[in-house]
C-alpha cells in the first residue's frame, strides 16, 4: 500500500511541477551527459510552472544552473536504472498505459484554463447594502421595510448617509455600506443567491433579502463590469483607493472607537498590495471555476454512468465480499460496461515496483479502489473525448509522461535507501547529545532568556537517533548524485545562463 501511496504522490507532484507555459521550440542545449541533454525549453517549462505570480520574477543564473542539474539527474537516474535492469521497458510501457489518458485529461484542462483566462473576462458586480441583524426577527423585518422604503424614495446624494446610519455592519459604515466587487462567474461566490435576487430588481432599486429574518439585507447593484484577468489587480486597487477616501471623509465627523477601528482597516496599508491580494484570490477562483465547468462538460459528453462505488478512507472500511467480480463500475454509451474484474486485470498489469506484497485482500482492494477513483476514472472519460486525445501530441503532455516514467527510477532509489543497514551506536547518540545539549537539545531558561537549559537525554535520544539515520541516508543520496554526475559525464554550460526576469 505504501508504494501505491507514493505513486499517488508522484502523480500530484507531476502536476505541481508542470504547467502549460513552456516556451515551445526552444532546443538550445544547456547541459549534456552520456545519453541525453537538457534544453532551454525544459528549463523554461520548469521555471514557469513553479511561479507563484503571473508577474515577471527574477531568476538568477545560479538557480537556473541548479534546476538544469536536477532535470539532468532525473534523466540520468532513469538511464542508470534501465542499465542496471532495475527498470524495464515493459514496466515503462505498463506505466504509460496506466496514466496516459489520465495525464491527457489534466493537461487538456490546464490548457483550456490557460486559453480561457486570456480570452474570457471576469464578471464583477458592485453592491451597496444595509445589514439588519439581531435575534428579534419581527423588529428586523419592521426596520428593513422602513429602510427599504426610505432608500427607494431618497435622492442619490442621500443614499450613502442612509446606509451608513442604518447598517449593523460597523466595518461598512465609513464607506456607506459598499462591498468589494464580487466575481459572479468565479468558482466561489458566497452571495450568489442574494446577487441573483438583486439582479431581478429594476435598475437602481433596492430590494429586501430576508431568507433568514435574523439577518436581513437591504441592497442594490450599483455597477457591473467585465475585467480582463490582467487588469483585475488595478481594478481592485482603484476600488480600495476610493474606499480609503470615503473612510477618511467619514472619520472627520465620526470619532467613536468603533469608527476609528473601521477607518483604520480601510485606510491603512498599501492599497495596491491589497488589490493584488484580492486579484490573486479572484483569479484563482476563476481558474477553478473554468477547470471544473470544462471537466464537467467533458464528463457529460462522455455519457459515462458511474456504478455505486463509494470512496473509502481506511483499510478497515473494506468488506471484501462487497467487491464481487461482476460489480459494475462504469457503463458506456454503447452499452459496454467496466466491471470489478476489469479493474483487477488492470491492477495486475501495474509495474511491480508500485505494488505491495499484499498479505490480505482488504489492503489490496483498498489500493484498487483508490487507484480507480483517483486516476483510472478520469482516464476512461478522457478516452471517449477526441478533444482530449489530441493533447497526446503536445509537448506538455510528453514532458509530463516522461516525468511520470521517471517515478519508477525514483522509486528504486527509495528502495535502495530503505534497504540501507544503518547502525547508530549509543556512543554516537551520546556524543551528539553532548555536542548539542546547549543548542539543538535545549530549552530557554525561564529565569534568564539569554541562557539555555539542556533537555534530559532520555527525552531526545530517539530524536537524535532518527536525525543521525537521516544524515546517513542523505549522505548516501549525495554519493549517488556525485556518482551519476561523474559516470555520465554531466556538463552544464553556465555561460548560457544569465540572470533573467521570467
Which three-class secondary structure string do you get for 54-105? CCCCEECHHHHHHHHHHHHHHHHHHHHHHHCCCCCHHHHHHHHHHHHHHHHH
- Report the mean per-residue pLDDT for the chain: 90
Residue 78 lies in a domain: no
Distances in Å between the alpha carbon of 274 and those of 129, 267, 281, 393?
Answer: 22, 11, 11, 41
What pLDDT is recorded for position 399? 84
Read off the pLDDT of residues 371-395 as tens digits, 9 standing for 90 and up.
Answer: 999 999 999 999 999 999 999 988 8
> Do 249 and 130 share a domain, yes or no?
yes
What pLDDT is recorded for position 44? 85
Residue 269, SS3 per DSSP: coil
> Do 216 and 151 share a domain, yes or no?
yes
User: Which of 262, 292, 322 represents a domain boundary (last residue)?
Assistant: 292
Read off the pLDDT of residues 170-219 as tens digits, 9 standing for 90 and up.
Answer: 999 999 999 999 999 998 777 889 999 999 999 999 999 999 999 999 99
Parallel/antiparallel/unpaired status of strands 122-133 and 215-227? antiparallel
Quote the number of domains for the chain: 3
First-residue to last-residue Cα distance in the chain: 40
Residue 58 lies in a domain: no
> Do 372 and 427 share a domain, yes or no?
no
Residue 458 lies in a domain: yes
Q: Is the pLDDT of residue 24 over 50?
A: no
Q: Is the pLDDT of residue 17 over 50?
A: no
Q: What is the DSSP string of 161-211?
A: HHHHHH-S-GGGGGGTTB-PPEETTSS--TTHHHHHHHHTSPTT--EEEEE
Local confidence band at 122 (pLDDT 50, 70, 90 cut-offs): very high
> Do 173 and 250 share a domain, yes or no?
yes
Residue 72 lies in a domain: no
Q: Are 305 and 275 in contact (CB under 8 A)?
A: no
CA proximity to 466, closest of 441, 499, 483: 441
Q: What is the mean pLDDT of residues 235-258?
A: 95
Residue 123 is classified by DSSP as E
CA proximity to 125, closest of 223, 194, 200: 223
> Do 149 and 180 share a domain, yes or no?
yes
Own/partner contacts of 279-283, CB < 8 Å, gap of 24 or more, are 279/232, 279/233, 279/235, 279/236, 280/53, 280/233, 282/122, 282/183, 282/186, 282/232, 282/236, 283/54, 283/117, 283/122, 283/229, 283/232
> Do 127 and 270 share a domain, yes or no?
yes
Which has the minimum average pLDDT: 4-13, 156-165, 435-444? 4-13
CA proximity to 220, closest of 237, 235, 200: 200
Q: Is the pLDDT of residue 6 over 90?
A: no
What pLDDT is recorded for position 5? 47
What pLDDT is recorded for position 52? 65
> Do 136 and 285 share a domain, yes or no?
yes
> Do 276 and 140 share a domain, yes or no?
yes
CA proximity to 329, closest of 313, 345, 316: 345
User: Which of 245, 264, 292 represents a domain boundary (last residue)?
Assistant: 292
CA proximity to 124, closest of 195, 68, 183: 183
> Do 252 and 185 share a domain, yes or no?
yes
Range of the domain at 447: 423-501
Say how far apart CA 136 and CA 126 lie, in whole Å: 29
Q: What is the DSSP string of 343-389?
A: HHHHHHTS-GGG----SSHHHHHHHHHHHIIIIIHHHHHHHT-HHHH
Q: Which pTM value belongs to this model? A: 0.78
> Do 132 and 252 share a domain, yes or no?
yes
What pLDDT is recorded for position 493? 94
Residue 219 lies in a domain: yes
Residue 483 lies in a domain: yes
Q: Is the pLDDT of residue 7 over 80?
A: no
What pLDDT is recorded for position 8? 45
CB atoms within 10 A of CB 359: 8
User: Which of 234, 264, 292 represents a domain boundary (last residue)?
Assistant: 292
Residue 25 lies in a domain: no
What pLDDT is recorded for position 53? 63
> Do 332 and 450 share a domain, yes or no?
no
What lies within 8 Å, CB to CB, of 469 at 6+ separation is: 422, 424
Query: CATH number for the domain including 191?
Result: 3.10.50.40
Q: What is the mean pLDDT of residues 265-271?
A: 94
Q: What is the mean pLDDT of residues 416-420?
A: 89
> Do 281 and 366 share a domain, yes or no?
no
Local confidence band at 11 (pLDDT 50, 70, 90 cut-offs): very low
What pLDDT is recorded for position 164? 96
Residue 250 lies in a domain: yes
Q: What is the mean pLDDT of residues 256-269?
A: 93
Which is more confidently placed, 157 or 500? Answer: 157
Residue 318 is classified by DSSP as -
For the record, the C-alpha cell of 291 comes out as 477547470
Read off the pLDDT of residues 70-90 as tens digits, 9 standing for 90 and up.
Answer: 999 999 999 999 999 999 999
Amino acid at each position: 500500500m505504501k508504494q501505491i501511496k507514493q505513486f499517488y504522490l508522484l502523480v500530484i507532484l507531476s502536476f505541481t511541477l508542470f504547467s502549460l507555459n513552456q516556451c515551445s521550440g526552444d532546443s538550445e542545449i544547456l547541459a549534456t551527459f552520456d545519453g541525453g541533454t537538457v534544453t532551454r525549453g525544459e528549463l523554461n517549462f520548469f521555471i514557469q510552472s513553479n511561479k507563484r505570480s503571473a508577474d515577471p520574477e527574477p531568476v538568477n543564473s545560479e538557480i537556473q544552473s541548479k534546476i538544469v542539474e536536477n532535470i539532468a539527474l532525473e534523466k540520468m537516474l532513469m538511464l542508470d536504472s534501465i542499465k542496471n535492469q532495475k527498470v524495464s521497458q515493459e514496466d515503462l510501457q505498463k506505466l504509460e498505459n496506466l496514466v496516459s489518458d489520465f495525464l491527457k485529461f489534466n493537461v487538456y484542462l490546464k490548457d483550456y484554463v490557460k486559453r480561457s483566462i486570456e480570452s474570457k473576462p471576469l464578471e464583477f458586480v458592485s453592491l451597496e447594502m444595509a445589514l439588519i441583524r439581531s435575534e428579534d426577527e419581527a423588529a428586523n423585518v419592521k426596520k428593513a421595510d422602513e429602510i427599504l422604503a426610505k432608500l427607494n424614495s431618497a435622492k442619490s446624494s442621500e443614499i450613502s448617509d442612509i446606509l451608513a446610519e442604518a447598517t449593523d455592519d460597523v466595518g461598512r459604515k465609513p464607506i456607506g455600506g459598499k462591498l468589494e466587487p464580487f466575481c459572479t462567474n468565479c468558482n466561489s461566490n458566497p452571495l450568489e443567491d442574494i446577487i441573483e435576487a438583486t439582479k431581478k430588481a429594476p435598475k437602481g432599486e433596492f430590494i429586501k433579502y430576508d431568507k433568514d429574518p435574523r439577518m436581513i439585507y437591504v441592497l442594490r447593484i450599483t455597477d457591473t463590469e467585465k475585467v480582463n484577468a490582467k487588469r483585475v489587480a488595478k481594478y481592485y486597487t482603484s476600488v480600495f483607493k476610493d474606499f480609503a477616501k470615503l473612510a477618511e471623509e467619514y472619520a472627520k465627523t465620526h470619532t467613536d472607537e468603533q469608527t476609528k477601528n473601521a477607518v483604520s482597516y480601510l485606510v491603512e496599508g498599501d492599497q495596491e498590495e491589497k488589490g493584488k491580494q484580492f486579484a490573486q484570490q479572484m483569479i484563482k477562483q476563476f481558474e477553478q471555476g473554468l477547470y471544473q465547468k470544462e471537466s464537467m462538460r467533458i464528463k457529460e459528453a462522455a455519457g459515462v454512468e458511474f456504478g455505486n462505488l463509494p470512496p473509502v478512507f481506511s483499510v478497515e472500511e473494506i468488506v471484501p465480499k462487497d467487491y464481487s467480480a461482476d460489480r459494475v463500475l462504469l457503463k458506456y454509451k454503447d452499452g459496454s460496461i467496466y466491471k470489478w474484474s476489469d479493474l483487477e486485470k488492470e491492477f495486475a498489469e501495474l509495474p511491480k515496483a508500485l505494488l505491495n506484497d499484499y498479505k490480505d485482500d482488504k489492503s489490496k482492494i483498498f489500493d484498487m479502489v483508490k487507484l480507480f477513483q483517483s486516476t483510472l476514472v478520469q482516464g476512461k472519460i478522457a478516452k471517449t473525448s477526441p478533444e482530449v486525445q489530441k493533447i497526446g501530441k503536445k509537448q506538455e503532455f510528453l514532458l509530463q509522461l516522461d516525468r511520470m516514467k521517471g517515478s519508477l527510477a525514483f522509486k528504486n532509489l527509495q528502495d535502495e535507501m530503505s534497504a540501507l543497514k544503518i547502525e547508530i551506536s549509543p556512543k554516537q547518540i551520546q556524543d551528539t547529545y553532548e555536542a548539542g545539549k546547549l543548542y539543538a537539545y535545549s530549552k530557554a531558561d525561564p529565569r534568564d532568556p539569554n541562557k539555555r537549559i539542556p533537555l534530559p537525554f532520555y527525552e531526545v535520544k530517539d530524536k537524535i537517533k532518527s536525525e543521525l539515520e537521516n544524515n546517513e541516508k542523505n549522505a548516501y543520496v549525495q554519493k549517488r548524485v556525485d556518482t551519476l554526475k561523474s559516470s555520465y559525464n554531466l556538463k552544464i554550460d553556465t555561460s548560457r545562463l544569465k540572470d533573467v526576469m521570467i
